[in-house]
Amino acid sequence: KQWYQRRVRGFFLGNLPGMSRTIVPLQSDMLTLQDCLEKNCGRIARFEKINCITTKLTSLKQKKGRTLPVQVSGDLDGPGDWLWCSEMERVFGLEPHYTDVGNMTRVARQRVLGKAWSVPVARHLLSPLRDYFKCQH
């Protein structure tokens, strides 16, 4: 006798309508890491794109060599630098200092961001639902 899991079939990330369509960025979307770095601070992105930012501090290190993603212009051969909180917020599509509340530490702010959805990704996944539900544009 075979047992089948019974559950209500609803939307999940794999079957959202329009999920496989091409992503069209808005003009305001920052598409490279260099776009997200603080201006006029001598910070240079070592990578164009970065891996997923999670709640763990080590998630900011890139590739197998565990390289830090930012190079400081005066220290070209140095170990690099972490992303600042305001830069991580830009990566997620948020305004700088969005998580700068309640005297949260840098690690606490990264934990909040690590549990969040990026604004452009959420916009991409949820925008086709406008065709199925009544809404004001």
Per-residue pLDDT reduced to its tens digit, 92-114:
999 999 999 999 999 999 999 99
d(CA 60, CA 110): 10
Which pLDDT belongs to residue 136? 72
Q: How confident is the model at residue 12 (pLDDT cuts 50, 70, 90)?
A: low
For the record, the structure tokens of 91 come out as 């990566």
Per-residue pLDDT reduced to its tens digit, 73-89:
877 777 889 999 999 99
What mean pLDDT comes out for the span 24-50? 90
Which pLDDT belongs to residue 38? 94
| Longest CA span, the chain | 70
Which pLDDT belongs to residue 66? 84
**pLDDT greater than 80 at residue 29:** yes
Q: How confident is the model at residue 36 (pLDDT cuts 50, 70, 90)?
A: very high
pTM for the full predicted model: 0.78
Residues 6+ apart with CB under 8 A from 110: 53, 55, 57, 60, 85, 88
Which pLDDT belongs to residue 129? 81
d(CA 78, CA 71): 8
